[in-house]
Amino acid sequence: MRTPIKKRLQFLTVAVLVYVLGFQLLPENLNYTGTIQSLIPLLLAIAGYFILLPILHWFWVIKAGEQKAWKIILIFSLSSFCARYSFPKDIAQYFEFIMYIRYPIMGILLMLELYLMVMIVKGLWQARKLSGDPRIHTVEKYHNDEKKLALALPLSWEPASWYYAIPKFSRKHTQAVCQLVTSSMLTRHWLMLIAACIFVGSVSYYLLVDWSEITAFIVASLSFYTVIFVTANHRVAKNYSVYLQDNKLIINNAFMSFIMINIEDITSVNQGNWHKADDKEQLMLGKGEMANIELCFSEEQTYLATMGQFPEKVSKLWLHLDKPGLLVEQLANIETVDKVA
C-alpha cells in the first residue's frame, strides 16, 4: 500500500477512535471538584479534538497527499461539531454557534443541491453531443485555473455517471485500446453491487420509516440512486479503461479515478513485469501484484483520485492491462507519425 493511502487510513482510524472515546467517556456535566484530576478527561478530549487530530491531518493527509492547506479547516469544523454534542454541557454551550449557523449552512447546501440539479440537466443535454467523457472536457476547460477545476471536477462526475451508465449517451465514445484488469469489469461484481444497493436501500427505509418517513425516503433514494454510479463504474471498467483521444492517453481506474496524459510527455513505454512489492510507493493501476506496462513521463502528470478530491503528481506509472502489446503498438504508431510529420 502506497504511503499517502496508508496515511489517510491511519488518520481515519485515529479520528474515529478519538471521537468515539469522546462521546463515550466524557460526562454530561463538568463536575469540577477543584482538582486538576477532575478535568483530565475534558483536557484530553480538547487535546485530541483540536491539537492531535489537526496535527495528524496536516502531516498524514495534507502533506503526505500533497493536498491544499485550506483543508485543515475541515478537521477543525468537524471537531467543533463533535464537541458541541460530546463535551459536558457547561463547555458545550460555547460551541452553540454551530447550532446558529446550521440554517445558513442548510440554505447554502440547498442552493448547491439546486445548482447540482441544473448541472445534471445541463450535463445530460450536452452529453448527447460530446464525443467523450464530460470529466475530460471539464479538465480541458479549467486546467489553467485550479480553484475552478477543484469545484467543477467533482460536479462533472454526476453527468459523467449518466453518460456512461446509459449506452445511448456514450455510443460516440472513442474506442478503447485495451482494458485495465480490475474487479469492476466483471459482470458478477456489478450484479453484487446492484444487489447491495437495493438491499441497503430497502433495509434503511424499513429501519428509519417509523422514526422519520422523510429521512427514510431520502436515505433509501440515495441508496437506489447509487445504481447509476455502479453501472457507470462497470461500463467504464469493461469498455473504456484505456483509450486515445486528441493526442492524449486517458486511463480510467474504473470510474472513481482517472489520469489524462499528454502523449508528447511520455518518454518511454516499456512492456515487461514489475512487482508492486519491489516499489510500494509507485502508483500502479490495475488488479493484482504485478504490472505489465511502465509509462515514464518528461513532466509530472496528475492522477485524479477519488472523484478528483485527492490529486497526485506522478512521474511514472505502472499498469496491469489485459492486452499490453496493443498499447505499446498504438503509442509507437503515434510516435512514428509525429516523426514523419
211 within domain boundaries: yes
- Residue 32: the pLDDT is 63
- The structure's pTM equals 0.70
At residue 63, φ and ψ (nearest 5 deg) are -70, -50
Q: Are residues 12 and 55 in the same domain?
A: yes
Cα–Cα distance measured from residue 296 to residue 314, given in angstroms and rounded to the nearest whole number: 9
Instruction: Please check whether residue 174 lies inside any domain of the structure.
Output: no
Of residues 130, 202, 140, 204, the one with CA closest to residue 162: 130
Same domain, 89 and 24: yes
Please give the DSSP secondary-structure letter assigned to residue 185.
G
Long-range contact pairs involving 294-297 (C-beta distance under 8 Å, separation at least 24): 294/268, 294/269, 294/270, 294/318, 294/319, 295/261, 295/266, 295/268, 295/269, 295/270, 295/319, 296/266, 296/267, 296/268, 296/270, 297/261, 297/265, 297/266, 297/267
Q: How many CB atoms lie within 10 A of CB 255?
A: 25
State whether 14 and 95 are in the same domain.
Answer: yes
**Domain enclosing residue 249, as ranges:** 242-340
The set of residues, in sequence order, having a beta carbon less than 8 Å from that of 288 and lying 6+ positions away, is 181, 276, 320
Residues 228 and 301 occupy one common structural domain: no
The reply to whether 291 and 277 lie within a common domain is yes
- In angstroms, the CA 268 to CA 335 distance is 11
Give pLDDT, residue 337.
Answer: 47
Residues 136 and 111 in one domain: yes
The identity of residue 140, as a single letter, is E
Long-range contacts of 82-88 (CB under 8 A, 24+ apart): 82/19, 82/22, 82/23, 82/49, 83/22, 83/45, 83/49, 85/23, 86/19, 86/22, 86/23, 86/26, 86/45, 87/22, 87/26, 87/42, 87/45, 88/26, 88/27, 88/28, 88/29, 88/30, 88/31, 88/42
Cβ 31 vs Cβ 42: under 8 Å: no
pLDDT at 308: 76
Instruction: Confirm whether 176 is domain-assigned.
Output: no
Q: Note the pLDDT of residue 278.
A: 83
Tell me if 112 is assigned to some domain. yes
Number of domains in the chain: 4
Instruction: Look at residues 72, 100, 128 and tell me which one is the last residue of a structural domain.
Output: 100
Q: Is 257 inside any structural domain?
A: yes
61 CB contacts (<8 Å, ≥6 apart)?
7, 8, 11, 67, 71
Spell out, as residue ranges, where the chain has pLDDT lower than 70: 1-2, 32-36, 38, 93-110, 112-131, 147-148, 335-341
Residue 177 domain-assigned (yes or no):
no
Predicted local distance difference test score (pLDDT) of residue 311: 82
Residues 220 and 253 in one domain: no
- Per DSSP, 333 falls in state H
Residues 250 and 334 in one domain: yes
What pLDDT, on a 0 to 100 scale, did the predictor assign at position 191? Answer: 95
**Are both 86 and 55 inside the same structural domain?**
yes
284: in domain: yes
Is residue 219 within 8 A of residue 160, CB to CB? The reply is: no
The answer to whether residues 246 and 235 belong to one domain is no
- 253 and 232 housed in the same domain: no
Same domain for 111 and 74? no
Distance CA 317, CA 305 (A): 14
Would you say residue 175 lies in a domain?
A: no
